[in-house]
């Protein structure tokens, strides 16, 4: 990740926020079949 290259506090913070956002989005798609269906062909980890 970028934080591994830059090694600054800001890049680490942004990396953590990005990972949290993707995790939250994955959780929302996994628990909401309607939302997941709207996304179409999402990655394999979302089971509708």
> Domain boundaries in the chain?
2-37
pLDDT of residue 20: 95
Q: What is the pLDDT along the chain (48 residues), one digit of tens a residue?
A: 666 777 888 888 888 999 999 899 888 888 887 877 777 665 555 554
pTM over cut 0.75? no
pLDDT of residue 45: 53
Q: What is the per-residue burial (b if ≥16 Cβ within 10 Å, else e) of 7-34?
A: eeeeeeeeeeeeeeeeeeeeeebeeeee
pLDDT of residue 8: 86
């Amino acid at each position: 990740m970028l934080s591994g290259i830059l090694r600054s506090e800001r890049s680490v913070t942004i990396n953590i926020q990005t990972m949290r956002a993707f995790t939250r989005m994955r959780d929302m798609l996994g628990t909401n079949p309607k939302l997941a269906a709207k996304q179409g062909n999402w990655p394999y980890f979302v089971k509708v």
